[in-house]
Amino acid sequence: MIPATVKIPAFIATNPLFLEACEFSHFHHDAVKQVREGTGEPYIVHPIEVATIVHAMGHECEYPPEWIDVAVVAALLHDTIEDTNCTYNLIESKFGSVVRDTVFWLTDVVGKPKGNRRVRKELEKVRLMAAPGRVKFVKCCDIIANASTVLDDKPASAMLFLTEKMALLETFVHYNRMHKGVDNMGKLDKVMLAKCRSVLVELLDKISKP
């Protein structure tokens, strides 16, 4: 059961699918005793933050309800494979293959054996460049959520985090330019791109100022 201290937004609390995904995610993160770095809050707070951004931006970008539903559920589950003992088969059995595939793309599969941090981040950029637009959309929402807390939670590594995410965002921009004028499922909505970029630029400027 999600602790009473965790605020569940109305759009999740009143939607059976979203609430099930939220409880599913909390169960798996809590089972491995994962909490948020810096605050010690239940980890589910982060997926809820990402899902909230996805829900708001999905409506702002005027995506259809079924598109938003998959994106919100995937946002709630996006760290379950990477950080817990949850499996893709279990996600598919509960939420379907489209959600499973979206979570797959959002899971960091480039581990330390593949090289140092710089090499791993480059490989992950190449991987995500080929991802569907909905995956990139959720990823940007994850970046925004993490960026909003990085200065408080991880001040020593904030600059590295922000520059890495800006580089990833440029990969998405490059993909869009490569397919300009073409209806392509891998393109990321321009409104989402602009929102994510503005958040990163603002924080980078804040760090750079003496």
Catalytic residue positions, numbered: 82-83
Three-state DSSP class for 187? coil
Query: Which sign, positive or negative, has the C-alpha torsion 179, 180, 184, 190?
Result: positive
Which is nearest to 137 in space by CA: 75, 204, 203, 88? 75
**Residue 33, class by beta-carbon neighbours within 10 Å (0-12 exposed, 13-18 middle, 19+ buried)?**
exposed
Contacts of 116 (CB under 8 A, 6+ apart): none
